[in-house]
Amino acid sequence: MKKPLYYLFTKSVGAYVNLLSYVFPDKATQLAYTLFSEPRDGRLTRAKLPKILQETTPETFEHNGTDIQTYTWKGNDTVILLVHGWESNASRWKKMLPYLKKSGSTIIAIDAPAHGLSSGKEFNIPQYAKSIDFIVQKFKPQYLIGHSLGGKTCLYYQSVYQNTSIEKMVILGSPSDFKIILNNYVAMLSLNSKISKGLEAHYLQHFNLKLEKFSAKEFASEIKIKGLIAHDTDDTVVLFEEGKKIASAWKDSIFIETNGLGHSMHDDKLYKKVIRFLFETE
């Protein structure tokens, strides 16, 4: 959608939600949450699976009434779990995979809820973390690698679940403060204060989360394992300062500043540093 049309669309949707808030405030808040939490991209079909995923052993697991899709590149007993971000899927790891494969490890990529071939319509971090925990319990990975909101979910997961099988984590281009993301959404649609406050109340009621505490910086402060955090100065999706916030709270972590990679973080030099971090000998 072209920018002028997208602008008109978002403002029109926001105007409708605002109007609805004066008549049916609960319905308006639910609609605003639905629009915020339902991805519009990142789905896959089995008939048109990306080539990189056709090389795998795909498995679908049923857990709590939902389907979790994984893809496995089989290797040795060392297991790496890859966790993608918002409106993406397991194929986003295509450029990193050659470096991971050289280690001989077994590599597993997961599709988030409502992404790829996993089921559902809604995406939220606590739900994603439950899917990750199910896969971690099954495959016992030593390493987690997450990009963007996938990285933040990894931090949330390890801070809450404190899984002892995880030895190291790599976090690429991940946001810290959830309130910034939500405020950007509110601003994009020009939503009124009723909706803004309603969304905050929704997270507190349904997830027992205060937004100021729902921060990757807070999660990182609870993590005891080693971490590598990389963020690009030219990231226009998640500001560079967000990565620095996470690094400031994670005691046993390395921070890598990159330039010119944007939000995707695809880079040969960076991938080589990730491999050295994961497989370096003490």
Query: CB under 8 Å to 239, separation ≥6 — which residues?
Result: none
* CA–CA separation, 268 and 96 (whole Å): 8
Q: So what's the pLDDT on residue 3?
A: 64
Burial of 187 (0-12, 13-18, 19+ CB in 10 A): exposed
Q: Looking at the 3D structure of the chain, how many domains does it have? A: 2
Q: Decide which of 214, 237, 264 is a domain's last residue.
A: 214
Same structural domain for residues 68 and 184? no
Q: So what's the pLDDT on residue 282?
A: 53
Same structural domain for residues 273 and 259? yes
Residue 128 lies in a domain: yes
Residue 135 lies in a domain: yes
CATH number of the domain bearing residue 173 = 3.40.50.1820
Residue 10 lies in a domain: yes
54: left (phi over 0), alpha (psi -120 to 50) or beta: alpha
Range(s) of the domain holding residue 28: 1-37+178-214
Residue 254 lies in a domain: yes
Same structural domain for residues 121 and 162? yes
Same structural domain for residues 257 and 140? yes
* CA–CA separation, 156 and 170 (whole Å): 13
Q: So what's the pLDDT on residue 219?
A: 95
Same structural domain for residues 3 and 73? no
Same structural domain for residues 128 and 164? yes
- Going residue by residue through the chain, which has 282 residues, state the pLDDT in tens, using 9 for 90 and above: 556 777 687 889 999 999 999 999 999 999 999 999 999 999 999 999 999 999 999 999 999 899 999 999 999 999 999 999 999 999 999 999 999 999 999 999 999 999 999 999 999 999 999 999 999 999 999 999 999 999 999 999 999 999 999 999 999 999 999 888 888 899 989 999 999 999 989 888 888 777 877 899 999 999 999 999 999 999 999 999 999 999 999 999 999 999 999 999 999 999 999 999 999 865
Same structural domain for residues 17 and 157? no
Same structural domain for residues 113 and 240? yes
Q: Is the CB of residue 132 less than 8 Å from the CB of residue 157?
A: yes
Residue 42 lies in a domain: no
Residue 43 lies in a domain: no
Q: Helix/strand/coil (H, E, C) string of the chain?
A: CCHHHHHHHHHHHHHHHHHHHHHCHHHHHHHHHHHHHCCCCCECCHHHCCHHHHCCEEEEEEECCEEEEEEEECCCCCEEEEECCCCCCHHHHCCCHHHHHCCCCEEEEECCCCCECCCCCCCCHHHHHHHHHHHHHHHCCCEEEEECHHHHHHHHHHHHHCCCCCCEEEEECCCCEHHHHHHHHHHHHCCCHHHHHHHHHHHHHHHCCCCCCCEHHHHHCCCCCEEEEEEECCCCCCCHHHHHHHHHHCCCEEEEEECCCCCCCCCHHHHHHHHHHHHCCC
Residue 224 lies in a domain: yes
Same structural domain for residues 91 and 184? no
Q: Decide which of 160, 187, 214 is a domain's last residue.
A: 214
Same structural domain for residues 118 and 245? yes
Same structural domain for residues 249 and 120? yes
Stated pTM of the model:
0.93
Same structural domain for residues 198 and 266? no
Q: Is the CB of residue 199 less than 8 Å from the CB of residue 140?
A: no
The Cα angle at residue 141 between residues 139 and 146, in degrees rounded to 5: 120
Residue 44 lies in a domain: no
